[in-house]
Amino acid sequence: MAVISRGFIGRGGETDPDLPAGQYLTADFPVLSAGPTPHIDTADWQFSIRTDSDTLHTWNWDELHALSIEDIDTDIHCVTRWSKLGTSWRGVSLDTLFATVKTTDEYVMAHSYGGYTTNVPLADLLGGQAWIALEFDGNKLDPEHGGPARLLIPHLYFWKSAKWIHGLEMQSQDKPGFWEQNGYNMFGDPWLEQRYW
Amino acid sequence: MTGTNEARDGRIGNWKVGVVTSIRRESASGRSITIDVPGWGGNIAGQHTDVRLTAQNGYTAVRSYSVASAGVGDRIELAVDRLPSGEVSPYLVDTLREGDELELRGPLGGWFVWTPEQSESVQLIGGGSGIVPLMAMIRSHEASGSTTPFRLLYSVRTPLDAFFRAELESPTANLEVTWIFTRRAPSGCSRPAGRITAADLEAHGFPAALSPTVFVCGPTGFVETVATALVALGHEPNRVKTERFGGA
């Protein structure tokens, strides 16, 4: 039985069905990252997928832009409890990038410029669920929001949408990434409130 | 996978019911709140806790707050600044009274933390209520008898906006405190009021050559400015730990 907080009313009102439990709506776009923001020149930028056979598939900035770029309208949910509904992004689907990749591994470690990592099952990157995002709200991505390119996996808590994405490494087992070693859940489904260990 | 995760959630535990034992005014908009939380079991300096409020009609709101205290035991201190458009912080600052119950879950977080076993120099840089987790580190440093050198740069609008002012105005031997006033500096202060700059970091911070661990906490703009300047001054990015207060 919950403790009633004497005199607390809150914003109250109807619960938005698009808002997972324990989240609140924000119109801002808060920034959360564990260290300094890396500043990456797109002339030097590279994205790669490393498979179990030690094969490296790489794309530079121009090669990525030569692929089909999709419009993505989605809600995003941060484990620190803010959610933002109806956000607009543009990016390349991971389905497009994995089209030429052969792998039997079921897990992925995402690696970012600056050293950040996060783990995701491959199944959650495919089937129109994940993108390399290049634009937010009609503008190129700010460095503090993960520019020039970030992973976008909106059906998981937003720490899985690694900023400053540099590459994906296939792995046979699910290993914890950065926040997953520092107190956060291995999977991170906002609808199941999988926040912490 | 869900089953495993539910089992792991048990490590943080269920919501615990705390009782507010005292509330102290830190500034016009800031309060430190001491709470007895049976079952808390202690925390590392820099960790945070979820706080849950429940209205009569069952509506709940949860936010995370840094813990200003560290160490063993079930008594913790939070320090909260009222955000004008906030939902939980105005309640904690204006409505909460001694003797009230509060639900908490934690301690949380394993990255922005300091333990007394760490022997390298530590540079703390706080903006506004970003001082809170850094205060836990200062207290843990003092309580443990650690002789590791600590330096704090604390940026506040005016002297009246400082949290933990008395404690920070008479620091211990191994702590050096530099105040940065952004709107109004007290008379006798040689530095004119203004936002923190690379020159402040260079003049008062540990040099990069010493490889200190740096903890930066505050509003997003403050943290971005400071962290970028630190990297430009030669600090290894992976030795600069940041925590940004972005939400409402």
| Residue A13 confidence (pLDDT) | 59
The DSSP string of B16-39 is EEEEEEEEEE-SSSEEEEEEE-TT
Average pLDDT over every residue of B139-158: 97
Per the rule left: phi > 0, alpha: psi between -120 and 50, beta: everything else, A64 is: alpha
Contact list in A for residue B246 (CB cut-off 8 A) is: 28, 30-32, 80
Pick B242's closest partner by Cβ from A8, A36, A185: A36
The pLDDT value recorded for residue A28 is 85
Nearest CA among B59, B64, B222 for reference residue A9: B59
- The region of weakest confidence among A104-113, A122-131, A164-173, B83-92 is B83-92
Confidence bin at A197 (pLDDT 50/70/90): confident
Residue B18 lies in a domain: yes
Residue A139, in any domain of the structure: yes
Q: pLDDT digit string (tens) for B173-189?
A: 899 999 999 999 998 88
CATH no. for residue B101? Answer: 2.40.30.10
Query: Cα–chain-centroid distance for residue B153?
Result: 13
Domain boundary among B54, B77, B108: B108
Write down the pLDDT at residue B53.
96
Of B2 and A187, more confident: A187
Residues B28 and B102 in one domain: yes
| Higher-confidence position of A170 and A54 | A170
Tell me what pLDDT residue B11 has. 52
State the ipTM, two decimals: 0.91
Domain assignment present for residue B113? The answer is: no
Q: Write the CATH number for B206.
A: 3.40.50.80
Q: Give chain B's domain count.
A: 2
Looking at the complex, report in whole angstroms how far the Cα of residue A119 sits from the nearest Cα belonging to chain B.
14
| pTM of the entire predicted model | 0.93
Closest CB from A10, A78, A194 relative to B59:
A10
Q: Choose one of B53, B76, B108: the last residue of a domain.
A: B108
- Under an 8 A CB cutoff, do B54 and A8 touch? yes
Give B71's DSSP letter. Answer: B
Q: What is the pLDDT of residues B230-248, one digit of tens each?
A: 999 999 999 999 998 854 3
The answer on B145 and B96 residing in a single domain is no
Same domain, B135 and B197: yes
- The whole-chain average pLDDT of chain B stands at 93
pLDDT of res. A52: 79
| Domain-ending residue, one of B108, B142, B163 | B108
Mean pLDDT of A134-150: 97
d(CA A50, CA A170): 6
- Shortest alpha-carbon distance between residue B168 and chain A (Å): 26
Which among A5, A30, A197 has the least Cβ separation from residue B8?
A197
Let me know if residue B133 belongs to a domain. Answer: yes
On whether residue A19 sits in a domain, the answer given is no
Instruction: Tell me which chain A residues have a C-beta less than 8 angstroms from the C-beta of B109.
Output: 182-183
Interface test with A, best of B17, B51, B52, B59 (most A CBs within 10 A): B59
Contact A156, A190 (CB under 8 A): yes
Radius of gyration of chain B (CA): 18
Q: Identify the pLDDT of residue A12.
A: 66
Cβ–Cβ pairs < 8 A, chains A and B: 133
Contacts 24+ apart (CB under 8 A), A172-177: A172/A52, A172/A105, A172/A106, A172/A107, A173/A107, A174/A107, A174/A119, A174/A121, A175/A107, A175/A109, A175/A119, A176/A119, A177/A109, A177/A110, A177/A116, A177/A117, A177/A118, A177/A119
Q: Quick one: pLDDT at residue A5?
A: 95
pLDDT digits (tens, 9 = 90+) for B195-209: 999 999 999 999 999
Q: Does B17 share its domain with B129?
A: no
B106: closest CA of chain A, how far (Å): 10
Residues 129-158 of A with CB under 8 A from B: 144
pLDDT of residue A1: 59
Q: How would you class B46 by CB atoms within 10 Å of its CB: exposed for 0-12, middle for 13-18, buried for 19 or more? A: buried
Q: Which of A6, A8, A192 is most worth mutating to test chain B (most B CB atoms within 10 A of its CB)? A: A8
Domain count, chain A: 1
Average pLDDT over residues B64-80: 96
- Domain that residue B38 falls in: 2-108
Residue at A15 is within a domain: no
- Round to the nearest angstrom and report the end-to-end CA distance of chain A: 23
Q: Is A24 in contact with B56 (Cβ distance < 8 A)? A: no
Q: What is the pLDDT of residue A2?
A: 75
Which pLDDT belongs to residue B9? 42
Mean pLDDT estimate for chain A? 94
> Rounded mean pLDDT of B11-29?
91
- What pLDDT, in 10s, does the model give residues A3-60? 999 999 888 656 789 999 999 998 888 888 899 999 999 999 999 999 977 799 999 9
CA B175-B177-B180 angle, 5° bins: 160
